[in-house]
Amino acid sequence: MKEQFRHDTPINFETVSEKIVEMQLANVGSASIREIKRLIDNIEKATGDRFVRMEMGIPGLQPSLIGTEAEIEALRNGVAAIYPDIDGYPGLKTEISRFAKNFLDIDVDPGSCIPTVGSMQGSFAAFLTLSRMYPGRDTTLFIDPGFPVHKQQHRVLGQKFESFDVYDYRGEKLREKLESYFKTGKIHSVLYSNPNNPSWICFTDEELKIIGELSEKYGVVICEDLAYFGMDFRKDYSKPGVPPYQPTVAKYTGNYILFISSSKAFSYAGQRIGMMVIADKLFKTKAPQLLNYYSSDIFGRAMVFGTVYALSSGTAHSAQYALAAMLKAANEGRLNFVEDVKVYGEKARIMKEMFIRNGFRIVYDTDIDKPIADGFYFTISYPGFTGEALIEELLYYGISAISLAITGSEHTEGLRACVSLVSFDQFPDLEYRLKKFREHHI
């Protein structure tokens, strides 16, 4: 911050500086997402100024009435007094299986479909169980950039992980890179998100086939995070049973676990209800080492009656009825959940144009040879700034984001911007603040 600009920033310079000091953050730019959120909350409260908030990846739309009405009805019918089955309400398991067929074009038994306390519990349970399947396989491979909390889960569990930034390994280059890790014999699973949080890159079918083939060759389980299901708006994935379908590695391997969230696609984040879809082949796989920790050596039984039981004894009963109703409506073509969230793509298109006009650059800008899609996230940088320095600088202009450095990205000059909480009526203010930033940093 140049001294002569301190009295010309959109947000009071002294107040922002004071709140940064109060938070006692060693480095604002490397702070966690929740720490950044708390800092912005404090600044907004002190100044009365509204930030353009792009730090939190949470939905900005109203939840489906189909879900809320079904949950209310379930509560009225007394399900709050009854423990749910650990592996899920049967009606929900059936609808998850139908959803997988209708929107992914894969066949999976309802028994292999497990509701979880959000996708986060699903991933935690998966990492815990997978790490105990085979002697010597003690490491997860992250295809980065990715959601920072997945690595935090590994730290909490005391588990090992390795990672690489995929941007320079797209297409056929991905095969050699993955195989270099798989050949070591220590990788039990791979995790990636598609579309990707934070970069919004989307794997092609060619790349998913490469991942699936290597999974089969080396017996590595592929954990596919589909938090942003159907949200690559360049194609229409909204029609049940009609191609194109949401791309998935499940077309190319029987060693997969899919994490499907209700938070973004169905805007049902607050009830913490997600889906873990396990390949039938993997569900039935026997691994004798599991008996060191569980009463069964069958992976699916160890997962459900060992890990999920120990973590939470199942998932909130009424929320399962909500999700079952929404999935049923989607499966029957009564709920076009993709159409409902297309507004995120429209916001991203407009906001990216604003940033580019004012001297910013899009960091992850292409899917191999095609422009990146407009969606829930995009990535930005500004010449002369590291990502960590840029985050702190933008606070004085009423704009928040998170650093790509905490996502495993090698592009540490960049930031992740989330469009969900930015309203259209803030666009004039965003334009003004970006112009002021450029004026101060030419």
Q: pLDDT tens across 122-179, in order?
A: 999 999 999 999 999 999 999 999 999 999 999 999 999 999 999 999 999 999 999 9
What pLDDT is stored for residue 25 in this prediction? 84
How far apart, in whole angstroms, are the C-alpha atoms of residue 422 and residue 233? 19
Per the CB < 8 A criterion, the answer to whether 411 and 381 are in contact is yes
Radius of gyration of the chain (CA): 22
Cα–Cα distances in Å, from 393 out to 35, 252, 253, 386? Answer: 16, 45, 46, 10
pLDDT for position 6: 76
For residue 107, pLDDT beyond 80: yes
Q: Angle at Cα 299 formed by Cα 247 and Cα 318, nearest 5°?
A: 70
Residue 3 pLDDT greater than 80, yes or no:
no
What is the percentage of the chain residues whose pLDDT exceeds 70?
99
Query: Mean pLDDT over residues 248-272, rounded?
Result: 97
Q: DSSP 3-state assignment of 175?
A: helix
pLDDT for the residue 151: 96
User: b or e along 402-424 (b: 16 or more beta carbons within 10 Å of the residue's beta carbon)?
Assistant: bbbbbbbbebebbbbbbbbbbee
Regarding predicted confidence, which is higher, 58 or 4? 58
Arithmetic mean of pLDDT over the chain: 96
The per-residue pLDDT for range 292-334, each reduced to its tens digit, is: 999 999 999 999 999 999 999 999 999 999 999 999 999 999 9
Check residue 4 and give its pLDDT: 64
Other C-beta atoms closer than 10 Å to the C-beta of 284 total 16
E strand segments, 7-120? 52-53, 113-116
Give residue 318's pLDDT. 98
Statement: residue 241 has pLDDT above 80 = yes
Give yes or no for a cis peptide into 195 (omega within 30° of 0): yes
Domains parsed from the chain with CATH numbers: 3-49+342-440 (3.90.1150.100), 65-337 (3.40.640.10)
Write down the pLDDT at residue 194.
97
* pLDDT at residue 97 is higher than 90: yes
If you average pLDDT over residues 268-273, what whole number do you get? Answer: 96
Question: Model confidence at 5, in pLDDT bands (50, 70, 90)?
Answer: confident
Nearby residues of 77 by Cβ (< 8 Å), 6 or more positions away: none
pTM of full prediction above 0.85: yes
Q: How many residues does the chain have?
A: 442
User: How much is the pLDDT for 29?
Assistant: 82
